[in-house]
Amino acid sequence: MLKKSLISVAAVSAIFMAGAASADTADKRIALSNNYAGNSWRQAMLKSWDKVTGKAVADGIVKEAPAFTTAENQATEQAAQIQNLILQGYDAIVLNAASPTALNGAVKEACSAGVTVVSFDGVVTEPCAWRIAVDFAKMGEVQLDYLAKRMAGGANLLEIRGLAGVFVDDEIHKGIVAGVAKYPQFKIVGSVHGDWAQTVAQKNVAGILPSLPKVDAVVTQGGDGYGAAQAFKAANRPTPLIVMGNRHDELTWWKQQKDANKYETMSVSIAPGVSTLAFWVAQQILDGKPVPKDMIVPFLRIDQENLEQNLANTEPGGVANVEYLQADALKVIASAK
């Protein structure tokens, strides 16, 4: 009797799961291989992973999905970690890589052992792996697109860059330069490195301000908008339009300005929850769905209308985040085709 009802319960739940298109992955195990956990972005990334995969496991979509972080941020260590994950028999490895190339050997081993490898954020070049890349150049370009709408007549821009010599800084800068070429009414009158840190940005913007003509807008890379605003305030200059980068302090400042004097801007960055997008993509691949090898992560863009909602969801000291659903993954896969 008991057995019979158990079977019927199993049957019913199987039908429900089939509805979610995931019955085939119920016995699959997906591991996250992560190379670094030492900043708030990575911490949020791991937290999102735990939250979303925890629910997926509870719902019976996958069997388990633990996260592994290497003790040191080194490619050789992560290569060993990947090989260990292969030995542990995971069906898929979701990977934020320490190096785009130095893990290729281990990734190849995984592929030839029949393990699906999905890399995101820090992607790998090995052709057998899937890549969910960030289009950093686009992140620079959308800022100019927005400014072109707000300041059709043109404006003087101050550019705050990231950490010199880092690939990400180069890419966002390229995007901004491309945007200025597209809208020639804009002119970059000054450029400083803010190192993605509010204090550095404030100090360096304060240093360059006396030598600049009127600045109408500031284009940024994230983590530097609040510092720039403080520098303008300290120099008794009118606050320009500063593009923000989704950090909690930036959004808080924006909200204050919005309430006080209808200040308008936008904010753009990558959500740490992109790890959960990679999880769903891996799940889809295990489910046998055709998925193109290269995909692009959507940005998390915050505008005047959805500021309050995003601010409420952001922890103090953290970054605005979004956890992806299976449906979002399907959208990203479809748009890459």
Partner 1 sequence: MLATLTSRRFLRSALPAISLVMILLPIFYMQPRTMSYFGLNLLLNLAIPIALATMAQMFVLTVNDLDLSIGSYVSLVACIGATWLQQTPLLGVAALLACIVVYGLLGALVHVRNLPSIVVTLGMSFVWLGLAVLLLPTPGGQAPGWIRTVMTLKTPMVPFPILAALLIGVLVHFGLMRSSYGAVLRGAGGNPRAVARAGWSVLRTKVTMYVMAGIFGMLSGLSLVGLTTSADANIALRYTLLSIAGVILGGGEFVGGRVSPIGAVLGTVTLVLAGSFLSFMRISPDWQIGAQGAILIVVLALRALINRRGSTA
Q: Which residues bind partner 1 (CB under 8 A)?
A: 37, 66, 68-72, 74-77, 79-81, 83-89, 99-106, 108-109, 113, 125-126, 167
Least distance CB 76 / partner 1 (angstroms): 6
Contacts of 114 (CB under 8 A, 6+ apart): none
Please identify, using beta-carbon distances, which residue of 165 and 210 lies nearer to partner 1.
165
Please identify, using beta-carbon distances, which residue of 47 and 247 lies nearer to partner 1.
47
Please identify, using beta-carbon distances, which residue of 98 and 291 lies nearer to partner 1.
98
- Using an 8 Å Cβ cutoff, are 263 and 239 in contact? yes
Task: Kindly tell me the sign of the dihedral angle through the C-alpha atoms of 41, 44, 46, 48.
Answer: negative
Distance CA 274, CA 66 (A): 16
Distance CA 223, CA 240 (A): 17
Least distance CB 106 / partner 1 (angstroms): 7
- Using an 8 Å Cβ cutoff, are 107 and 78 in contact? no
Please identify, using beta-carbon distances, which residue of 50 and 287 lies nearer to partner 1.
50
3-class SS shares of the chain: helix, strand, coil, % to 5: 50, 15, 35
Least distance CB 74 / partner 1 (angstroms): 5
Strand partners, 217: 157, 241
Least distance CB 88 / partner 1 (angstroms): 6
Please identify, using beta-carbon distances, which residue of 136 and 324 lies nearer to partner 1.
136
Least distance CB 58 / partner 1 (angstroms): 19
DSSP 210: G
